Structure 1
Amino acid sequence: MSAARDYGLDDDHEWARPPEGGWTADDLDELPNLPSHTELLDGTLVFVSPQTRFHSLAVRLLEHALLSQVPDELEVIREMTAKLNKRNRPEPDVLVVRADADTGPRQTWFRPEDVVITVEVVSADSEDRDREIKPVKYARAGIPHYWRVEENDGLPVVYVFELDPATQSYGLTGIFHDRLKVAAPFPIDIDLTAINRRP
């Protein structure tokens, strides 16, 4: 049996082959038949595995809580890419971006200077990316705030990082278990135990 048929494809299916030097951020908008939520890291396509219930609920909780608290000059978006540079276009689970970064309904990515917070909810297949790879890339691109969300007994634990512009790296400013309360980049207060409640 062929590899194509192992994945439910016919024998004529051809897998995407990267060009010399790898894919570019602009290729994500041009490549046909990419799965939803495909990311680009270091010129390599990253396909997202099916998400867990915790992941979906945590994203929903944070998105709705941020929407209710974000100031008018900012906007909350989920699952859109940030074009960090030519070879990196990750897709955070939730972003807080400048409202004036809206270029219209066909927009597919944000510039790093338009992103205020990136949020990644860690999954089994994304642990290394969310803990080690993406934070370095977000920091080097100048994104001021990074939140990493981990699961503990069905509840979210949020690790909040802030950019040190002198080193272009993140410093941990807090670990939040039941309640996420921070003053920057704007006053935010989220009941993390509300994950299973409907908004």
Structure 2
Amino acid sequence: MTALVMSSQVASTPPRWSAPEGVWSEPDLHLFPQDGHRYEIVDGCLHVTPPSPESHDAVVRAVVTTLRAAAPPGWWVCDRLGIEIGESNLVPDVTVLRPRSSGAIWSDPADVALVVEVETPATRRYDRVLKPSLYAEAGIPVFWRVETGAATPVLRTYLLGGARYRAGHSVEGAEPVKLDAPYPVRIAPATWI
């Protein structure tokens, strides 16, 4: 009877893991469960964000739908597709890949035309400061950030200018606004909720 109790206790114990002796790398990400947390590596350091609320996921799905509807043939619009940037492995909320992309599990930044981050209170600073700087250093030409704190979402667009992003448009409301990058698309953020 004691052995039976111990085996059931072992089965309910969360799996244990240990940190690597050096920097974190992409294979280390496979150690973690698919539990809704987002595990990313920034310059060899592990970064974990909590599971996103359903309201965030609904906006991500709406952005994907909007971009897919306007995508020219051969373009790919994906949610939570990883990008490998040097010693960093980032997972944007939405990624748009150019035609004839490699199709690798971790995308090459050269294949990426646009990344989109949808803010939550837990990711606000990460989405506004750290991730855009890494995307810009990698040469990703267009970055969008969706702010969801107001009554309706606000889309902020940024275009790469040199080694950093320059502010483009600020789009809100239900009236569609035409954007030209990464390809012509009409955006109405109020319809995303």
TM over 0.5: yes
Q: 2:60 — aligned with what?
A: 59
**Aligned residue number for residue 4 of structure 1:** none
CA distance in 1, matches of 2:64, 2:172: 17
Letter in 2 for 1:175: S
Q: Is structure 2 residue 96 aligned with structure 1 residue 101?
A: no
Q: Could you say what secondary structure the match of 1:92 adopts?
A: coil
CA displacement, residues 67-111 of structure 1 (integer Å, 9 cap, x when unaligned): 0001113110110100011x21110000100231153xxx42100
Aligned-pair Cα RMSD in Å: 2.1
CA distance in 1, matches of 2:21, 2:35: 19
The answer to whether residue 13 in structure 2 is matched with residue 10 in structure 1 is: yes
Residue 162 (structure 1) aligned with residue 163 (structure 2): no
What 5-or-longer segments of structure 2 have no aligned partner?
1-10
In 2, Cα distance between equivalents of 1:32 and 1:190:
36
- Based on CA coordinates, which of the two structures has the bigger radius of gyration? 2
Number of equivalent positions: 180
Q: Percent identity?
A: 29
Q: CA deviation at 1:23?
A: 0.8
Contact 2:42 2:90 in 1 (8 A): yes
Pick closer, same or farther for the CA change 1:113–1:26 going to 2, 3 Å: farther
Q: Which runs of 5+ in 1 are unaligned?
A: 1-7
Match of 2:169 in 1: 174
Give deviations 1:46-78, integer Å, cap 9, x for gaps. 223121232112101110010000111311011
Partner of 1:3: none
Which of 101, 111, 114 does residue 117 from structure 1 map onto?
114
